[in-house]
Amino acid sequence: MVRRFGLAVLAIALVVGIALWFLTAPATIASGALPARSPDLANGKTAFDAGGCASCHATPNQEDRTRLGGGLAMPSPFGTFHVPNISPDPTAGIGRWSEADFVNAVMKGTSPDGAHLYPAFPYPSYAHARLDDVRDLFGYIKTLPAVAGQAPPHELPFPFSIRRAVGLWKLLFFDDKPFTPDPAQTAQWNRGAYLVNGLGHCAECHSPRNALGGIVKSKRFAGGPDPEGKGFVPNITQKGLKGWSEKDLAYFLETGQTPEGDSAGGSMARVIRNTSQLSAEDRNAMAVYVKSLPSVDGPPRPPRKN
C-alpha cells in the first residue's frame, strides 16, 4: 500500500514537472514572421531615447551615451545584475544577433540561445511596444560604435540563479499583450500612454513590487523602494504630483528641474538625459498621460535622514 502510494506521488510529481517544463518554455517570434523591412533610423533613435537604452547600457564613467558597452552593476533584493554590452561588437556585444534575436530579447525576454532573460531588463514593459519600433531600434543600434569588453556575469544566489525559474515568474507577471489605443482618449493621450507604459517603462521603477518581484497592479505608479536599494522612488500618480501641471512635467522631462527648483538625481538623472532627446511633442504627450493617472496611495515613504 505504501509502495503504491509512493509510486502515485512520484507519477503526479513527474506529470507536474513535465507540465511546468513546457509551461515555462521561453517564447519566441520566428524570424519568418518578420517581413522584409528597411529600418527607419530616425524612429529607431526615438525608440532608443524613449526606451532609455543608454541609461543602463552605456559604459559607466564616460560621457558618450552611444557607447553601449554595459558593465553597470544593478543591486537588487535578488542579487546583483551586471548590464550587458549591447553595442554592435561581434564578440562582446550583439553584432552577430539577427533581427529576430533582438525582437525576442526585447519583446519576449528570451535570449538568442533560447534562455529566459531576467526581468531586471524591463521587457515586461517593452513587450507592449510596436514591433516596427523595436525593429527600427535594432537598426539604429547597429549604427552605433562597437565597444569591446564584456560585463561580468550576474551575481545571483540560489534559487534565483536558475534561469528556467524565470518562466514561472513570467506565468505570474508577464503580460505581453500589445498596446491598444483608447478610442475615448485623444491621440496625444494615447501617444503618452504608449511611451510611458511601453518603451518608457516608467512603472518598472515607479511601482512597488511584491516578494517575488512582480509589480503590485493596484499600486502601479504609486512609488516605492528603489529597486537598486538606493532610497525611495516617488509616487507619480496625482497623489504625488497633484501640484504639478502638464507644463511642469514636460519641462522636468526636458531639463530635470522640478517646480520647486530641485534637480533630478540618481537614476532619474540618467533618464532625463534620454527624455531630453525626445521631441517636445512626445514629452508633452507623456506629461498629459501622467497627469491623467488617478490618485493612488503608495507604500509609506520612510522619513528623510538628517
Give the whole-angstrom CA distance, residue 133 versus residue 47: 6
The owner of cell 503618452 is: 192
- Point out the domain boundary residue: 178, 193, 217: 178
Q: Give burial (CB, 10 Å; 0-12/13-18/19+) of 301.
A: middle
Model confidence pLDDT, tens digit, residues 94-152: 999 999 999 999 999 999 999 999 999 999 999 999 999 999 999 999 999 999 988 88
Shared domain for 134 and 255, answered yes or no, is: no
Helix (H) or strand (E) holding 269: helix 266-275
Give the whole-angstrom CA distance, residue 240 versus residue 62: 33
Shared domain for 190 and 275, answered yes or no, is: yes
The pLDDT of residue 20:
56
Produce one character per residue of 93-131: b if its CB has 16 or more CB atoms within 10 Å, e if not.
Answer: bbeebebbbbbbbbbbbbbeeeebbbbbbbbbbbbbbbe
CATH code of the domain containing 218: 1.10.760
Residue range(s) defining the domain that contains residue 161: 34-178
Shared domain for 167 and 196, answered yes or no, is: no
Give the whole-angstrom CA distance, residue 257 versus residue 253: 8
The pLDDT of residue 305:
59
Produce one character per residue of 250-267: b if its CB has 16 or more CB atoms within 10 Å, e if not.
Answer: bbbbbebeeeeeeebeeb
Does 237 reside within a domain?
yes
How far is Cα of residue 186 from the mean position of the Cα atoms in its chain? 26
**Within 10 Å of residue 275's Cβ, how many Cβ atoms?**
24
Q: Give burial (CB, 10 Å; 0-12/13-18/19+) of 34.
A: middle
The pLDDT of residue 127:
96
Shared domain for 157 and 253, answered yes or no, is: no
Shared domain for 234 and 206, answered yes or no, is: yes
C-alpha cell at 259: 517646480
The pLDDT of residue 191:
97
The pLDDT of residue 3:
58
Residue 102 and residue 94 in contact, taking contact as beta carbons nearer than 8 Å: yes
Q: How high is the mean pLDDT in each 10-residue block of the chain (306 residues)?
A: 55 54 70 86 96 91 89 87 94 94 95 93 95 96 93 87 88 91 96 96 92 90 78 88 92 88 80 93 96 88 63
The pLDDT of residue 212:
86
Does 10 reside within a domain?
no
Shared domain for 221 and 239, answered yes or no, is: yes
Shared domain for 147 and 248, answered yes or no, is: no
C-alpha cell at 23: 509551461
What predicted TM-score, i.e. pTM, was given to this entire model?
A: 0.88
- Bridge partners, residue 81, by sequence: 74
How far is Cα of residue 78 from the mean position of the Cα atoms in its chain? 17
Shared domain for 216 and 156, answered yes or no, is: no
The pLDDT of residue 13:
52
- The length of the chain in residues reads 306
Structurally, how many domains does the chain consist of?
2
Shared domain for 160 and 248, answered yes or no, is: no
Q: Give burial (CB, 10 Å; 0-12/13-18/19+) of 156.
A: middle
- Point out the domain boundary residue: 178, 210, 230: 178
Does 21 reside within a domain?
no
